[in-house]
Chains A and B, each alone.
Chain A
Amino acid sequence: MNTMTAVNTESSISIRDLTLNFGAVQVLKRMDLEVAPGEFIVLLGPSGCGKSTLLNCIAGLLDITDGQIWIKGKNVTWAEPSERGIGMVFQSYALYPQMTVRGNMSFGLKNQKMPQAEIDARVARAAEILQIQPLLDRKPGALSGGQRQRVAIGRALVRDVDVFLFDEPLSNLDAKLRSELRVEIKRLHNKLNNTMVYVTHDQIEALTLADRIAVMRGGVIQQLDEPQTIYNRPANLFVAGFIGSPSMNFIHGAVKGGKFYAEGIVVDLAGYEGGALIDRPKAILGLRPEHLTVTNTAVAGKTIAATVEIDENLGADSLLWLKAGDNQISVRIPVEDRLNAGTSVHLEVDMSKASIFDAETEARV
């Protein structure tokens, strides 16, 4: 491929035709990925899809089977992890238990034979940014989970590198700490403005942190886009189902003459934002719970008739589970609009936010 030979000097990280096998199993399949300098990329996908593997390949902790990895315009495919100009933060913190916080943070710098004065200066600066100065002389065993992860971030910070790699750094923390540290990582990125590649299976983390999200499945990037695009215009059925909680409603039917037909449902597709709506005998209409509104009046081609089954109070809002023919549909409504089970209602469809998928290829139309 001749596009590969042109070195993209603008990219901070450039993955080219990367393949990785574990024995006979191909975990990463001919992957290409360009990360711009200062960009926050989140690798999102279900467990086992190869996110950590990709991150370890970038870090140089795994020998790749084929392809190239470039960091800051240099081919680092065969370089040692420490020579790649990266810092890495792990899920289990991976702090050296017998060293103090200070020792943990300066270990890498000592290995570089950096002068002690410079080491001290860098540790002090990182400790100040992360607010861990009082912890410097403690051992990791005497720290809480949140403090440990701060120290682990500090250990990457002192390396003064352009690329940060995070492997599910918040997964071991409880919900409250997780959101605190999430904000802190975002703040850190705004301050340092270096490239970050962040692995997670948590879509909230992905949506809140990322400049662009790479949704992965089975070692293949399904979609690489800004969070809003991923959310509103998922490239395929997998991405649509993986992002969003509760999941997008899928209605199986057919597209014919600019209308969507399913059992007891006819919806006019005018206003759909996507490709041309040619007739398809098998199609799937995807509607997010928050893009449906409950009304009392039926409008032909605009509403779906449904019966309320369950009303779940989520505190901030309420989740309505309804039945429309064979289809189970969930709708997000304000709490004060709660409805009793058995009520018959009509759901108004916002076609500009809907997605239509080809049932064969599973791709968005």
Chain B
Amino acid sequence: MADATANTPAVGIGPGPRGAKPRNAFAPRNIMLYGTLIIVAIYYALPLYVMIVTSLKGMPEIRMGNIFAPPLEVTFEPWVKAWSTACTGINCDGLSRGFWNSVWILVPSVVVSITIASVTGYALANWKFKGSEFFFAVLLIGAFIPYQVMLYPIVLVLKNLGDGISFFTVALGLGKVQVYGTLWGLVIVHTIFGMPILTLLFRNYFASLPEELFKAGRVDGAGFWGIFFRIMLPMSLPIFVVAMILQVTGIWNDFLFGVIYTKPEIYPMTVQLNNIVNSVQGIKEYNVNMAATLLTGLVPLIVYFVSGKLFVRGIAAGAVKG
């Protein structure tokens, strides 16, 4: 167009609406939406509020009644007691023992299960072998079998595993070895039970990465481990974070396996919390119980806060392709 004014309207702007359409903040739709959100938020936040204020009150104040009232006199006594002196049956060293037990169970379980699952998922996604689809299907079925049916068989497996290992260690003069009832037995159980879902997660994630990257790696002469460590791993932080959160919260919150496969000295924190809260001797110390519960929930809570953003990203990435 030769005419420079060709783009300016000849008539100017006409009457009637112009620009952004006004919105009514109190439209029925908005009231419904925000009303529902606020109610749901209160529903979840209120119990937490009650727990926090109760844990900061002394027993006399609690007996006075109103559980919603903020503490008149803030005291950290219940937290200290819950951590270091509350009694569970014979031991009176609080939750601290359970905390450290849980840590010693958690760290190897998370590391071992994620290590195995990531390599398995990578192999299933990229190095298809004869029967790999069948193997994957079996693993998936594993994810849907209710684990209660396996509780007792696993007791036998752990016992026999111990006996099997003992056969060699005794022959070598190292004495008998126990697996059932030990921390390592529980680590094995957590690792195995984490396998189906974690492998699925990693397989789907690796399958969602461009296949041509894998091909380029092979043309460049990288092998199974070369491609895994040099090409795949550096792209996989989000999915490792997801796996870590799943495992940390799952294993930390586990109660059943802890009770069944360990013994009192090495009970995880959850079991010990239960023993403190349900202890029948003496009066119920609500403030100590609340503090103990909050302490136990602290680890998953921190994990969520620290890695929430990565978690969402990883879940989205892992869910893209089946």
Residues of A in contact with B (beta carbons under 8 Å apart): 56, 59-61, 80-82, 86-88, 90-92, 94-98, 107-108, 111-112, 155
Contact = CB atoms under 8 A, between A and B. Distances in A.
B222 A111 contact: yes
A56 B213 contact: no
B231 interface: yes
Contacts of B226: 111
Given A96-B231, A97-B235, A88 B216 contact: yes
A111 B215 CA distance: 15
A280 to B, nearest CB: 47
B234 interface: yes
B3 interface: no
Given A97-B235, A111-B226, A92 B221 contact: no
A124 B227 CA distance: 25
Contact of A82 (B212, B213, B218, B235): B218
Q: Which of B210, B215, B222, B234 counts the most chain A CB atoms within 10 A?
A: B215
B73 interface: no
Contacts of A82: 218-221
A83 to B, nearest CB: 8
Given A92-B212, A94-B213, A111-B226, A61 B235 contact: no
A80 B226 CA distance: 15
Interface residues of B, number: 16
B219 A88 contact: yes
Given A111-B220, A111-B221, A90 B212 contact: yes
6 contacts: A61-B215, A88-B215, A88-B216, A98-B234, A107-B222, A111-B221
B162 to A, nearest CB: 44
A81 B212 contact: no
A61 B127 CA distance: 11
B230 A94 contact: no
Contacts of A90: 212, 215-216
A108 B223 CA distance: 11
A265 to B, nearest CB: 47
Interface in B216-266: 216-222, 226, 230-231, 234-235
A92 B215 CA distance: 11
A59 B217 CA distance: 12
Interface in B187-220: 210, 212-213, 215-220
Contacts of A94: 210, 212-213, 215-216
Q: Which of B218, B221, B226, B234 counts the most chain A CB atoms within 10 A?
A: B221
